[in-house]
Structure 1
Amino acid sequence: MDYTVALSVIDDLLTRPFPDDEIEDDFSGDQSGPGYHLLDLARTETCYSDDDWELKEADNRAYEADLAGLQAKLRARWGEGELLTLWDGNAAVSPPVQTAGYSTSLRKVADWVGSVHIWRVGQRWVTAFVGQADKELFIQLRVAVGLTSDLP
């Protein structure tokens, strides 16, 4: 991963205006809306079948390593940040019920992961995470930016 490019994208998102209406790029899956931006920094070129578990695991490890490197760069810029738990997989209610009261920005992130490390930068927060929209689809390294006023 080219961390210089990734940090430049994050810097852009931290200053980019939020649109008044939801916008989604059908090809890339990038999304923006009132109070948030969510986009891919990287994604695998492969969709996976049940037989591809070794390739999928190798790709996932590589993306997790890229995420760890990016988080180290974010810590160097803005300190340790904070862990934000969005939903608990052991809870009696499903993740959508647990996140129903959250802002759109946090619900969009919660569609991908149950917890994230966030950094507050002025009136915005930023996070990066590895996820997969469905088990057969691309593994993605995503970045999200939202308003700190939306945090629980």
Structure 2
Amino acid sequence: MSSAEHIATIDLLRARDFPEAPGRSEAGHAGPGFHIAELATFETAGDDDGTTRDAMEEQYEAERDALTVLLTERWGEPHIIGLASAFARAATGSDDVPEPWASLSETVPDVHLWQAEGQWIALGVARWGGWRALQLLAVITKIDPP
């Protein structure tokens, strides 16, 4: 997908109501108060020596950064928020990290974050399964970050 298509997905989800129950959506995953769009997904083969994964990680971070430039034109400079402390609290069973932030913190080390019109918009790169899979994610939520 192109940056224009990613922005269109973000705009579509910003205009859409949040579901009452968590579940899959055509864009990724959604639940009460949030949408998570899976903008791009890459999975390595079991025999990958890491070269392809490293190149794709750089590409996904570059795509996130390109989207950041476009969204910065709309909403100003983003906050860069690390999610390690949210992950640590969620992993110990603390209830003070709400969704979507608890799930997001499991795979996304940091997000580029804006607040606009009562919603939080976040971009991040998720690393799954020992970094064998990567996803470029956009999150639209009314739930304050931890």
TM-score, normalization by structure 2 = 0.85
CA distance in 2, matches of 1:98, 1:84: 21
1:108 aligns with 2:106: no
Q: Which residue of 2 aligns with 1:52?
A: 49
CA distance in 1, matches of 2:52, 2:138: 23
Q: Tell me how large the CA RMSD over aligned residues is.
A: 2.6
For the structure 1 residues 97 and 115, does the alpha-carbon distance in structure 2 shift closer, same or farther, using more than 3 Å as the test?
Answer: farther
Q: Which residue of 2 aligns with 1:6?
A: 6
SS at match of 2:133: coil
Residues 23-66 of structure 1 show CA distances to partners (whole Å, capped at 9, x for unaligned) of 125xx88110000111211112x433264301111111111111
More strand by share: 2
One of 32, 35, 51 as aligned partner of 1:34: 32
Residues 1-26 of structure 1 show CA distances to partners (whole Å, capped at 9, x for unaligned) of 5111111110111111001011125x
For the structure 1 residues 107 and 33, does the alpha-carbon distance in structure 2 shift closer, same or farther, using more than 3 Å as the test?
Answer: same
TM-score, normalization by structure 1 = 0.82
Structure 1's unaligned 5+ residue stretches are none
CA distance in 2, matches of 1:108, 1:140: 14
Aligned partner letter, 2:66 = G
1:19 aligns with 2:19: yes
CA contact (8 A) 2:53 2:132 kept: no
SS at match of 2:36: strand
Q: CA deviation at 1:96?
A: 1.9
Count of aligned positions: 146
Q: Which residue of 2 aligns with 1:74?
A: 71
CA contact (8 A) 1:116 1:127 kept: yes
For the structure 1 residues 58 and 114, does the alpha-carbon distance in structure 2 shift closer, same or farther, using more than 3 Å as the test?
Answer: closer
CA contact (8 A) 2:41 2:135 kept: yes
One of 112, 126, 130 as aligned partner of 2:125: 130
Q: Which residue of 2 aligns with 1:151?
A: 145
For the structure 1 residues 129 and 136, does the alpha-carbon distance in structure 2 shift closer, same or farther, using more than 3 Å as the test?
Answer: closer
